[in-house]
Chain A
């Protein structure tokens, strides 16, 4: 029972983290058609900000969390302003290559300016404790991860459904030109989408730091690949799809870890992707994606 509960919580926590990062990718992709592979470096900027602040003596976990989320949102907006805006109307592949470029440049900046080696960050370690409920021991970090991700997604849904800018983001995911015809500034819609995307990455960064206790230049890259896969599972560009895809990926991974005998554990990733390939054969547009027929005017 304890073991089952522990694994369920594991799956939910991993799933929540993938969902947050996948949502960040999906918000930007849905309105710009840009797969932002520099999303991992936003997580990096966030984590290194906490590291630098701690080095300067700001060791309050509260400040660290605010800084992580704020700097991530800022980094995302700056990436857009500096790198993505000039190629906004260029073909999709240009945006993709630009994103890889940003990713490489920023990772190398981390190496040059700070260090290629992992740096210890301990300010958020306090979040990672064991909580005991009667006979059950659970990780406080996983519980928080689940609750915070849930609340964040609720806040995002509220924003997208209630605020004018949120409505504009949803509308822009289908028809950006017409959103501009409403007198809504394209730059503001895009900057907001990037800020949201960054803030989501920042929240994920807090949890990563609390779990690993260290930061390295390639911190976010692997996670963004996972998030990309989550988006594909859910249907690329669909926000509910990203959340569901992330959760599902978490469950598949943890489920395989539990089900596979120890000596086959190395096949975990291969099996995960095999399941996803099978899923995509069955539903090429992803779980919640929309099938676009050739010749459809509305995309």
Chain B
């Protein structure tokens, strides 16, 4: 479904991503792991087009989208839940969800989807009319993921969904991510929290200093020579 070829992202003289190639197949959950500053978020931002890569190709459904604008990539079925959630704090919970469906032209379907997420996350239902900035971190993360799903994407990129959240809440969010996978959604999950990310991952990429250090099934990652501890920690 998604194919990245020799992606290079630079910020001035700093090379954040060095010739990264990866693939995500239909229905797969792929984890992209690595320590802080490894180039994970730069990769995601290059995939959504918020950052322009220095070189390399991004192919979605065998279409080269390397030069397609962010908003048109979203319309093509790729979306991302950014690191740090980036909910619209000054908008209400409901307005956040409605904006997530901005590309859709089926008001009835949109309403149905909103109902579905509200019953899935009762907290969001209770706070429907409130400014989203008043939600707790975990609630904001749920809202952010629900907002991404409102566009009915084919491929969801999740950037650090565990960031700054308590372990119990992280586990719940990954339960939900597991459900999304079971429903057939294709996911690329960027994480520092390897344990949670590996729960549902079909394949794992480990990135360090912008370079790929591991590519394979999660089971083998633990066996690789010191890799798990070196790049991922406990």
Contacts and interface: CB of A to CB of B under 8 A. Distances in A.
Interface of A: 164, 167-168, 170-171, 173-175, 177-186, 297-298
A167 B71 contact: no
Contacts of A182: 74, 99-100, 102-103, 147, 151
B95 interface: yes
B99 A171 contact: yes
B50 A181 contact: yes
B75 interface: yes
Contacts of A177: 50, 82, 86
Contacts of B25: none
A174 B75 contact: no
- Among B48, B84, B100, B102, max chain A CB count under 10 A is at B102
A291 to B, nearest CB: 15
Nearest to A164: B102
Given A181-B82, A183-B72, 8 more contacts: A164-B99, A164-B102, A168-B102, A178-B88, A182-B99, A184-B99, A185-B71, A298-B89
A186 B99 contact: no
A171 B147 CA distance: 13
B79 interface: yes
Contacts of B82: 177-178, 181
Nearest to B133: A298
Contacts of B102: 164, 168, 182-184
B98 interface: yes
Highest count of chain A CB atoms <10 Å: which of B48, B69, B99, B148: B99
B99 A167 contact: yes
Given A170-B90, A170-B91, A171-B88, A181 B80 contact: yes
B70 interface: yes
A174 B88 contact: yes
Q: Which of A168, A178, A183 has its CB near the most chain B CB atoms (within 10 A)? A: A183
A89 to B, nearest CB: 11
Nearest to A290: B90
Contacts of B103: 182-184
B144 to A, nearest CB: 9
B159 to A, nearest CB: 11
Contacts of A170: 88, 90-91, 95
A297 to B, nearest CB: 7
Nearest to B77: A183
A175 B88 contact: yes
Contacts of A185: 69, 71
Contacts of A183: 71-72, 74-75, 79, 102-103, 151
5 contacts: A167-B91, A167-B98, A182-B102, A185-B71, A297-B84
A86 to B, nearest CB: 16
B71 A180 contact: yes
A168 B95 CA distance: 9
Nearest to B153: A183
Contact of B86 (A164, A167, A173, A178): A178
B61 to A, nearest CB: 16
